[in-house]
Amino acid sequence: MDIIDKLTEIFKEFPGIGERQARRFVYFLMSRNGGYNENLSRMILELKKEILQCKECFRFFLVQSNGGNVCDICSNANVDSSILMVVEKDSDLESVRKSRTYNGKYFILGGLVPIVEKTTKSRVRIEELKQLISSPKTVFGEIILAFSLSPQGDHTDQYVREQLKEVSENKKIKLSSLGRGLSTGTELEYSDNETLKNALKNRQ
């Protein structure tokens, strides 16, 4: 396997990128001058140095001057701490946040649960979610499951509900899902503000 094939395989690991697109990326890099590629390499390395993962919601965020390991959402006293929204990934969180239709806390599950999968717990942060909800420090009145309207998203919704059933009943927490507003097959990160607003309003 030569360097072109190796780079192609790396780009294929990116979300939504197939063989043809990955190879186009490689040829694009080859067409650029050395300064462009050096700058890209440097920025990728700097990204890992300047980004932390929040210990509470698992969102990636820029390193803050106070050196804390909790993001600006989780540390914000003005956020409604009685509501928790569970999303698949960072880009879903950012879409909801930009819509300005929700002012509660978040938790990033880290993926969707495959319909046929025996090692489910290794694919998502279900144990971390249960620990967060079970903690005496948290008092949630509602947990919103905000996943894409797809077979895998529906399966994940059902799985999380089953996993949280005991703790939600013990702590009298309402479990809800995004309602009408999202079209079937739509990913949360691509939804516009009005769609997200309606989906939150009609959650059930």
pLDDT score, position 190: 62
Q: Residues 48, 49, 55, 61: is their CA dihedral positive or negative?
A: negative
For residue 99, CA distances in Å to 59, 163, 190 come to: 18, 29, 11
Q: What is the pLDDT of residues 1-21, one digit of tens each?
A: 899 999 999 999 998 899 999
pLDDT score, position 203: 74
For residue 158, CA distances in Å to 11, 47, 190 come to: 32, 35, 22
Q: What CATH code is assigned to 80-201?
A: 3.40.1360.10
Q: Quick check: 173 pLDDT over 80?
A: yes
- Name the one residue in this structure whose structure tokens are 């993962």: 53
Distance in angstroms (rounded) separating the CA atoms of residues 112 and 160: 10
- What percentage of the chain has pLDDT greater than the value 90? 60
Q: What is the pLDDT of residues 31-89, one digit of tens each?
A: 998 899 999 999 999 988 889 999 999 999 988 755 678 998 999 999 999 999 999 99
pLDDT score, position 65: 55
Domain regions of the chain by residue span: 3-49, 80-201
Give the dihedral of Cα atoms 101, 105, 109, 110; nearest 10 deg: 80
Cβ(89)–Cβ(82) below 8 Å = no
- What percentage of the chain has pLDDT greater than the value 70? 84
Q: For 3-49, which CATH class?
A: mainly alpha
